[in-house]
Amino acid sequence: MGYEQLWLDYTRKVSGRETEGIIYICVGIPDAEKDALIQNSVKELQEAFAGMVGRELTLRQEGSAGTGAAQARTGEGREIRLVRREGMRVESYHLYCEKGDIVIEASDSRGILYGAFDLIRQVKMENPLHLLDRTNAPLMPMRMLDHWDNMDGSIERGYSGESFFFVKDQIVIDERTRDYARLAASVGINAVVINNVNVKDAATWLITDRYLDQVKQLSEVFAGYGIRLFLSLNYAAPMELGELESADPLSEEVRGWWHERMKKVFGKVSDLGGFLIKADSEGRPGPFTYGRTHADGANMLAEAAAPYGGTIIWRCFVYNCMQDWRDYKTDRARSGYDNFMDLDGKFMDNVILQIKNGPMDFQVREPVHPLFGGLTKTNQMLEVQIAQEYTGQQRHLCYLIPMFKEILGFRTYVKEETDTVMDIVSGRTFGQRNCGMAAVANTGNDDNWTGHDMAAANWYGFGRLAFEPELTAEEIAREWIRVTYGNDEQVEETMMFLLMSSWPAYESYTSPLGIGWMVSPNNHYGPSVDGYEYSRWGTYHRADHQGIGVDRSHEGTGYAMLYRKPNASVYDDKEKCPDELLLFFHHIPYTWKLRSGKTVIQHIYDSHFEGVEIVDEMVEQFMALQGRLPEAAYERMARRFLEQKEHAREWRDQINAYFHRKSGILDEKGREVY
Amino acid sequence: MGYEQLWLDYTRKVSGRETEGIIYICVGIPDAEKDALIQNSVKELQEAFAGMVGRELTLRQEGSAGTGAAQARTGEGREIRLVRREGMRVESYHLYCEKGDIVIEASDSRGILYGAFDLIRQVKMENPLHLLDRTNAPLMPMRMLDHWDNMDGSIERGYSGESFFFVKDQIVIDERTRDYARLAASVGINAVVINNVNVKDAATWLITDRYLDQVKQLSEVFAGYGIRLFLSLNYAAPMELGELESADPLSEEVRGWWHERMKKVFGKVSDLGGFLIKADSEGRPGPFTYGRTHADGANMLAEAAAPYGGTIIWRCFVYNCMQDWRDYKTDRARSGYDNFMDLDGKFMDNVILQIKNGPMDFQVREPVHPLFGGLTKTNQMLEVQIAQEYTGQQRHLCYLIPMFKEILGFRTYVKEETDTVMDIVSGRTFGQRNCGMAAVANTGNDDNWTGHDMAAANWYGFGRLAFEPELTAEEIAREWIRVTYGNDEQVEETMMFLLMSSWPAYESYTSPLGIGWMVSPNNHYGPSVDGYEYSRWGTYHRADHQGIGVDRSHEGTGYAMLYRKPNASVYDDKEKCPDELLLFFHHIPYTWKLRSGKTVIQHIYDSHFEGVEIVDEMVEQFMALQGRLPEAAYERMARRFLEQKEHAREWRDQINAYFHRKSGILDEKGREVY
C-alpha cells in the first residue's frame, strides 16, 4: 500500500486518556450482520482503536446470541454502542456519552456510519469523550463528488496523477477503491460520479454489457459506505452505440430505447444512483440538435429512470463556445440563465439542475450564479470545483472552503427568509428533497491522493461543509489539520495561517477585481493576460489604454439585471458594486477610485505586491515546520511552496507589467514594474 | 498508390510535336548496367515518354552489345543519348540538341540524372527541344532537406500528415520512398536527413544494429538518385545507449567510443553522408555540459567520421531558452554569433556549421544571420524552413522562394566582391567545398505530400533554387506551375499571382515591421500578440502605451553592431534602418514617421487591412480556376484558401485591436478596429 491514509491514518497514536476503559463494541441492531454499512462501521472503529490506542475492541452483538464473534460483557470496561432509534432524520446520528459508554444512535445505517467516523475524529482530536453530545443531520440531501476521470486513465483537469477508477478502459476495483470510499464517506459524501462528464470514447459503453458487471461490483463497494454510484452519460448514446440514427428526446423510438436501457442498467445495478449529463455544451450533443429544450432532454431520461429511483443530474453549463471576441453584446455570463430560466417548473422531480457557483467557470472570484434565486420550481444543486483548475492546480495552496462559505451565504432575495444559496440547495427554501452540492473532485493516484498534501483539506472540507454548512471555514480547517497531522499546536497554528491566507493571497496575485481569465489558454496554469482575450470562449477583460472590465450593467449586456433586487441594483451601479466584483460588472477607468480609496491601477499594483508578500510569509512559516511533519510529506509540500513562491512572482510581474505598459501609469510607490 | 506524383506526374499528356520521332534512348556509358543512377535515369525517361507522349523508348546500350534489352538503331527516328564527358564540373550536365537527337552529357552519373530530369521538365513545358543548349552546374555543393520526422511516425512542425519514413519506430521502405527520392532528386536535392534533429527516444538507436540494416537499405534507394542519407545524431548517444557515463568530447574513452561506432556504422552503410547535430540547445545535451566548446564537440565526431568521408553538420541554433522576460540586456538574437564567432577556424574541414537564415527562428521577416559575413574560416550552410511553421503552416499559402532570394542576395561586406550569402554558402567567397543550403522539409504522408497543394512549390522551389540560385523566384514559380499543372495560361497567370502575392500578403496581415513572434505559443499558428511576450524564449516585442520594438542598437543589446559596415551602421540608426526591420532593431514610438511617410501605428493598420484585401483578391482569383484544375486538388486548395481568408481577418482584427487598445490612437481612415 504505497498511498497514504490521510485523515483516516490510524498509525498515529493518540493519548489513551479519553478512551481509557473502552474495550467493547456493542451492536444493538437486529440483523446487523447482513448490513454492510454496520459491518463497515464496526470494522472502522475496531481498526481505529487498534491503530490509535493499541486496543482490540471486542464485538458484542446484542439480540443475536450465539454468533461466534460476539461475547458477553463482563461488567468491567466501557463500550461503544451502536443503536437503532426510529424517528430520527435520514442520515443523522446522535453521538453521546452515557454512564461512560459511547452511544451512536441513528434511524438508518448511514447515520451509524457517520456517527462512527465522527467518533473517530473526536478520538483523533483527543476531545473529552465524556462530554460528547452531538446530534448531527446533514443539511444537504446530495453530497456529491464529480470525478473527471477518463477511462483511458487520464483525468481532465487532474493534478494528482492518473485515475484510480480506470486503467486502460477498464474499471479498477481494489483496496484503494475501498479506501477511497472510506475517505469519502468519513466526511459525509453520499454520491460519486466516477467518469468525466465530457464523456469520451469508452465511457459511452459504461451502460452496456461490456461494463455492467464491473459497474455493479463498484456500486456495491460504494454502497457499503453509503455512497451511491452515478455515471456520466453520453446523451447521444443510442447513436454512438450504433443502435439508432437519432437522439431526439421526443422520438418514440429514442424514448423506447432509453426505457429498455434503463431497465437493463438498473436491473443489473440496483444500487445505481443515476446519471450526470452535460448536453449541448462545449461540443457535447444534446436536445438542441433536434430543436428540443433541455427539459425535453432531461425529462426523457428521468422518465426512463424514475421506476428505479434513478436521478438525472443535468448540468446548466451551456453556452456558446464559438463566440466572436469582436461581439460586445453576447455575454457568456448570461447563457446559463437565458438557457434555463424559461424552463423553470418544467423538469420532473427526479431531475436536478447542477449549477456552477458562478456564471463563468470556477474562477478565483465570480458573482453567484443568477439561476440561484432565479429558479423557484426546479431542483437545484450547487457545483463547485476543488480540482483548482483555475486556482493553482494543487501546486499553489488555495483552500477553497472560505469561498464556498461565501457562496452558500449569498442572499438571493428569492424569499424574505431562508433565501441563501445554502437554503436553496439544502431544500429549505422550496421544500425540495432532490438537491445538494457537488464538487469536481481533486484526487488521483498520487501517493497523497491530491498532489499537494494540503489540497486534501479541500476534499475533506467540501464533504464536511456539505454535511454541516454551518461550520465555519476555520473550524473545518482546524479539524482537518488535527485529524490529519495530530495535535501539535505549532503545526495547527501554522497550517491555519497557511490555509486561511491562501485564497485571498491567490486572488491578490492573480486576476484583480473579479475580472478572471488571465490564464494560459488550455492548461489554465500561470498568467497570460490576453490569453483568452481574442478567443472564442466568451472570456474577455476588454482592457484598453484607459480602462478595463466588462460592462454587464443595464447599459451593457444587462447581465446584472438577472439578479433579484436589491442585488441587481447593487451590481448594476458602479458606485455600489463591491470592489472585488467591479470589473466583472463594469468597464472602469484605471484612475477610478475604488471604495477602498485606491485607484484601480494602484489597487492592481498593491494587491499584486501584497499577494506575493503573503506567500513569502506563508512559505517561511511552512518551512519552520521541518521536523514536525512526516518527512516525505514535508518534502513534497516544501517543493510546492517553493514553486508557489516563484510562480506568484511571475503572476505579479506579468500582471503589473501588462497594466503598466497598457495604462502608462506608474506605481505610486515606485516599486519595480517591468 | 493513393498519393500524387506532383511535378513528376506523367499521366498528363503533352503535345507530341516537340518529341516527334524520338523513339530511342541510347546509353553511351560503359558499365551503365551496374550504375543505378544511369539505370534510374533511363527508367525515368522511359516512364516519362510512355506516360506523356505515349511512346515506349527503345533502349540502345552502346558498347555492351548482346545485352538483351538493347537494340540497333535502324536509321529512322531520333534518340536521347546519355554520354559521359570527362572534365565537366561535378554534378553538372550539358543538355542539347544535335542533329535532331537530344544529348545529355555529364562527367558523373548525377549529372546525367539531373539532365534527364531537366529534359523531362522541358518536355512537360513543351519547350522547343531543337533549341536546347543548357549547361547547368549546381552552385551549391550540398542541397539538403532536413526532415523533422520522429520515429513514432509524428512530425515535429509537420502539417502534411504523418511520416512516410517512420511508422511505429520502424523505418519504412516502399514505393513511396522511391518516389520521394525521385521527386527530391528531380529538383537537385542531393542530401537528406530523415529524422528529427531533436533526436527523441528511438532515434538514438539509429546508429545501432537495431536499425543499421534498414538504414543501409534506405541509403541505397537514395543513392540510386544521387542522394546521400544523413542521420540526426544524439550527442549523448554513448550515455543514452547505456555504454558510457560521459559524453565529454575530450575524454579518450568517449572519443574511442565514437571511433568504434563510426567504423561500425560506415562499415555497414558505406553510402552514408554523415550526421546532423543539435547540441546544447533547447534542452539537448552538448559539449557545454563538460565545459567544452562546440568545436571540441563537432571535431570529435568529425575526426571519427573523416576516414569514411563522413560530414558533420553542426547547428548554430544555440541560445538560452530559459531567459527572463524582465531582462532587457540578454538578447537571443546575439546568441548564435556570440557562441560561434570565437570558434571561427577551429572546426575540421568535414564540419559544416548550419546557420538559420535569421538570428531568431524562421519568422516571416528577420535580418540575415550575422554569422554570415562574420565567419571567414569555417564551412557554412544556410538553413531555411519550408515547413511554414511560422508562415501559415501550409494552411495559408506562403511561397517562400522570394524570401530566400532576398537572403541569398544579402551583401555581407565580408569581401569587396562575392560577399553575398549565396557566394558564401556556394563556396565562392572562401573557396570552400563543404557548404550549401538546407531546408526543414514540408512533406508528410498526405496524398498531396504537402498539405496545401501549392506548398509543393516551396519544396520544388527550394531544390531548384539551391541548384540554380540565379533563377528568379518568378522563374521558379512559373516552372513549377507548368510542370505540375500543364500549360494552361489562365492557370499559370493566376497561380503566378497567388504565389508571388503570398509572402508579402502574409507579412502584411501578421506581425509588422520585422518584430515577429506574435503567434500562439507552442503551436505557432494564429495570432497572439503577447503570446511570447512574458515567456522564457527570448522573443519579445516590448510594446507599451507609447511604442514597440526591441532596442538592438549600440545603446541597447548591441546586436546591430555584429554586422560588418555599412550594414551595422544602417541597422544601428533608426533613421536609416529599413522599415521592414525597424522594430527588430529599435524601440519606436507609434507616432514615428516611417520612411514610407506613414506613422508606425498607421502602417500597422494599413498593412493589416491591405494584407486582407490581397488575400480576398487571391481567393477570388483562385476560385475562378474551377474546372481548370483536377477536381480533388481544386477542392483541397479551395478549403485552405477559404480558411486563409477567414484567418487573415482574425490576424488583422487581433493585431489592430491590440495596438489600438494599447496606443489609444485611432485609425486615421476610420475603419473598424475592435
Answer yes or no: are the C-beta atoms of A156 and A196 closer than 8 Å. Answer: yes
Copy the grid coordinates of residue A10. 490510524
Q: Do A654 and B544 touch (CB under 8 A)?
A: no
pLDDT of residue B67 exceeding 50: no
pLDDT of residue A205 exceeding 60: yes
pLDDT of the residue at B63: 62
Model pLDDT for residues B95-130, shown as the tens digit of each residue: 999 999 999 999 999 999 999 999 999 999 999 999
pLDDT of the residue at A225: 98
Element (H, E) at B353: strand B351-356
pLDDT of the residue at B199: 87
Best mutation site among B324, B325, B326, B673 for testing chain A: the one with the most A CBs within 10 Å? B326
Give the range among A620-629, B17-26, B35-44 with minimum mean pLDDT: B17-26
Distance from CA of A322 to the nearest CA of B (A): 14
Model pLDDT for residues B473-485, shown as the tens digit of each residue: 999 999 999 999 9
pLDDT of the residue at A75: 66
Distance from CA of B674 to the nearest CA of A (A): 6
A660, closest residue in chain B (CA to CA): B544
pLDDT of residue A68 exceeding 80: no
pLDDT of residue B601 exceeding 70: yes
Q: How confident is the model at residue A69 (pLDDT cuts 50, 70, 90)?
A: very low
Q: Do A545 and B662 touch (CB under 8 A)?
A: yes
Which residue carries 493589416 as its cell?
Answer: B608
Q: How confident is the model at residue B74 (pLDDT cuts 50, 70, 90)?
A: low
Q: Do B544 and A661 touch (CB under 8 A)?
A: yes
pLDDT of the residue at B76: 79
Is any Cβ of chain B less than 8 angstroms from the Cβ of A535?
Answer: no
DSSP assignments along B45-68, one per residue: HHHHHHHHT--PPEEEETT-TT-T
pLDDT of the residue at A324: 96
Mean pLDDT of chain B: 95
Helix A252-268 with A294-305: angle, nearest 10 deg: 40
User: Which residues between 596 and 655 in chain B have a beta carbon less than 8 angstroms from any beta carbon of chain A?
Assistant: 650, 653-654
Q: Do B674 and A325 touch (CB under 8 A)?
A: yes
Q: What is the mean pLDDT of residues A414-427?
A: 97
Q: What percent of chain A is helix, strand and coil (3-state, nearest 5)?
A: 40, 15, 45
pLDDT of residue B385 exceeding 50: yes
DSSP assignments along A244-309, one per residue: -S---TT-HHHHHHHHHHHHHHHHH-TT--EEEE--SSTT---GGGGT--HHHHHHHHHHHHGGGT
A509-550+587-663 shares the fold of A142-481? no
Q: What is the mean pLDDT of residues A378-397?
A: 98
Catalytic residue, candidates A4, A248, A331, A389: A389
pLDDT of the residue at B618: 98
Question: How many CA atoms within 13 Å lie on the side-chain side of B98?
Answer: 11
Q: Do B661 and A545 touch (CB under 8 A)?
A: yes
Rounded-to-integer distance, Cα A220 and Cα A229, Å = 9
Best mutation site among A544, A587, A650 for testing chain B: the one with the most B CBs within 10 Å? A544
Distance from CA of B322 to the nearest CA of A (A): 14
Answer yes or no: are the C-beta atoms of A518 and A542 closer than 8 Å. Answer: no
Domain ranges for chain B, please list them. 6-136, 142-481, 509-550+587-663
Is any Cβ of chain B less than 8 angstroms from the Cβ of A660?
Answer: yes
Q: What is the mean pLDDT of residues A447-473?
A: 97
Q: What is the mean pLDDT of residues A454-461?
A: 98
pLDDT of residue B72 exceeding 70: no
Fold for domain B509-550+587-663?
Alpha-d-glucuronidase, C-terminal Domain (3.90.1330)
Distance from CA of B529 to the nearest CA of A (A): 8
Model pLDDT for residues A556-593, shown as the tens digit of each residue: 999 999 999 999 999 999 999 999 999 999 999 999 99
- CATH architecture, domain B142-481: Alpha-Beta Barrel (3.20)
Chain A residues within 8 A of B654 when measuring between CB atoms? 534
Residues of B assigned a catalytic role? 282, 361, 389
Strand duo B78-84 + B22-28: pairing: parallel
Q: What is the mean pLDDT of residues B39-55?
A: 97
Q: pTM for the whole thing? A: 0.92
Q: What is the mean pLDDT of residues A318-344?
A: 95
Residues belonging to chain A: 674
Q: Which residues contact A525 (CB under 8 A, 6 or more apart)?
A: A392, A393, A395, A519
pLDDT of the residue at B522: 93
Higher pLDDT, B321 or A283: B321
Rounded-to-integer distance, Cα B338 and Cα B562, Å = 9
Q: How confident is the model at residue B70 (pLDDT cuts 50, 70, 90)?
A: very low
pLDDT of the residue at A70: 45
Q: What is the mean pLDDT of residues B264-282?
A: 94
Answer yes or no: are the C-beta atoms of B249 and B200 closer than 8 Å. Answer: no
Alpha carbon separation from A466 to A124, A408, B37, B100 (Å, rounded) = 21, 10, 79, 95
Give the range among B237-251, B255-269, B274-288 with minimum mean pLDDT: B274-288
Mean pLDDT of chain A: 95
Higher pLDDT, B198 or B300: B300
pLDDT of the residue at B285: 84
Q: Do B545 and A661 touch (CB under 8 A)?
A: yes
Best mutation site among A324, A329, A517, A528 for testing chain B: the one with the most B CBs within 10 Å? A528
Q: Do B664 and A545 touch (CB under 8 A)?
A: yes
Best mutation site among A545, A591, A665 for testing chain B: the one with the most B CBs within 10 Å? A545
pLDDT of residue B282 exceeding 90: no
Chain B residues within 8 A of A543 when measuring between CB atoms? 661
Q: Do B664 and A527 touch (CB under 8 A)?
A: no
Higher pLDDT, B519 or B284: B519
Distance from CA of A234 to the nearest CA of B (A): 31
pLDDT of the residue at B62: 79
Copy the grid coordinates of residue A624. 519552520
Catalytic residue, candidates A361, A366, A419, A507: A361
Question: How many CA atoms within 13 Å lie on the side-chain side of A534?
Answer: 23
Chain A residues within 8 A of B660 when measuring between CB atoms? 544
Q: Do A534 and B545 touch (CB under 8 A)?
A: no
Q: Do B534 and A545 touch (CB under 8 A)?
A: no
Three-state SS letters, A320-351: CCCCCCCCCCCCHHHHHHHHHHHHCCCCCCCE
Model pLDDT for residues B527-543, shown as the tens digit of each residue: 999 999 999 999 999 99
pLDDT of the residue at B71: 52
Copy the grid coordinates of residue B215. 538504414
Best mutation site among A330, A519, A530 for testing chain B: the one with the most B CBs within 10 Å? A530
User: Which residues between 538 and 597 in chain B have a beta carbon less than 8 angstroms from any beta carbon of chain A?
Assistant: 543-546
Q: Do B664 and A544 touch (CB under 8 A)?
A: yes
Model pLDDT for residues A34-48, shown as the tens digit of each residue: 999 999 999 999 999
pLDDT of the residue at B1: 56
Q: How confident is the model at residue B283 (pLDDT cuts 50, 70, 90)?
A: confident
pLDDT of the residue at B523: 95
Q: What is the mean pLDDT of residues B649-658?
A: 98
Q: Using CB atoms, which residue from B545, B650, B653 is nearest to A663?
A: B545
Annotated active-site residue A76? The verdict is no
pLDDT of the residue at B281: 81
Q: Do A545 and B325 touch (CB under 8 A)?
A: no
Distance from CA of A653 to the nearest CA of B (A): 8
pLDDT of residue B186 exceeding 70: yes
Contacts 24+ apart (CB under 8 A), B85-94: B88/B137, B89/B137, B90/B137, B90/B141, B91/B137, B91/B138, B91/B190, B91/B226, B92/B135, B92/B136, B92/B137, B92/B138, B93/B118, B93/B135, B93/B136, B94/B134, B94/B135, B94/B136
Q: How confident is the model at residue A95 (pLDDT cuts 50, 70, 90)?
A: very high
Is CATH 3.40.50.300 correct for B6-136? no
Give the start-end residues of each E strand in A404-556. 436-440, 547-548
* Percentage of residues of chain B with pLDDT beyond 70: 98
pLDDT of the residue at B229: 98
pLDDT of residue A490 exceeding 80: yes
Q: In terms of Cα–Cα distance, which of B588, B595, B550, B607 is closest to B359?
A: B550
Model pLDDT for residues B304-327, shown as the tens digit of each residue: 999 999 999 999 988 888 999 999
pLDDT of the residue at B412: 98
Chain B residues within 8 A of A521 when measuring between CB atoms? 520
pLDDT of residue B280 exceeding 90: no
pLDDT of residue B69 exceeding 60: no
The number of C-beta contacts closer than 8 angstroms across A and B is 57
Q: Do A530 and B534 touch (CB under 8 A)?
A: no
